Amino acid sequence: MTIAYVSGASSGIGRGAAVRLAADGATVVLLGRDEKRLAEAAQECGPNAVTAAFDAADADAVDAALPGLIERTGPPDVVVHAAGMTVVGALDQLTPAQWHQQIDVNLTSIYSLNRHLWPAMVTAGGGSVVLVGSTASFAGFPADAAYVASKGAVLAMTKAMALDGAPVGIRVNAVCPGFILTPNLQGFFDAQPDPDAASAGAASAAPLGRMGTPADVAGAVAFLCSAEASFVTGTSILVDGGLLARVPS
């Protein structure tokens, strides 16, 4: 039985990935901050799903929760790092607290979780790790400096982890979503001067003519975690409806 750990699993892309992996037969361990929403997500993942409520951006909380959880569930075969958020603002407008919050959630959480999950995977003989990047891993967005910085770093981290993982049987890749309709993206829209116009603009930005769904991203995650991707590591899959393929006119 495949054991899949998914951070940020209470909503959005993380929840979509957890549901898909469960549908493909994995026992899913859902990590997130909101115990109630985790329980709701676990219901979609079947009776074998396990939940653990803690803040992945809090290194002390991770250190307290993960060792016992791994002992309880067994080592992961699959890890999906989907915890994320958006702090809106140009770099000079961000407070130190906002900057650190963005980096801690989108980047440091991967480090903190990986300190426990990676050695367990090595001991068990390998597996697959998927990080969630963004179109912002490749291109900038105005008034979104900390988010863009964090997602660019996620892509670089993916490559470095893949090199470290190759000798021990761990593949590491990233999915890079475009505009995916999630609570996080809705919060970004709500922070804009005209939220309705921002939402409409996102829906029309991709050549496919719509925003994506968490299930769209989950399909790419499932592929990267599968045997079909056994020779795929250190790379990323854009799930953006063609957004970055088009030169703006």
Residues tagged active-site: 147
Compute the distance between CA of residue 113 and CA of residue 115 in angstroms, rounded to an integer: 5
Burial letters 2-18, b for 16+ CB under 10 A, else e: bbbbbbbbbbbbbbbbb
Cβ distance 224 to 162 under 8 Å?
no
- CB proximity list for 102: less than 8 A, separation 6 or greater: 85, 86, 87, 94, 146, 147, 149, 150
Cβ distance 21 to 15 under 8 Å?
no
- CB proximity list for 125: less than 8 A, separation 6 or greater: 169
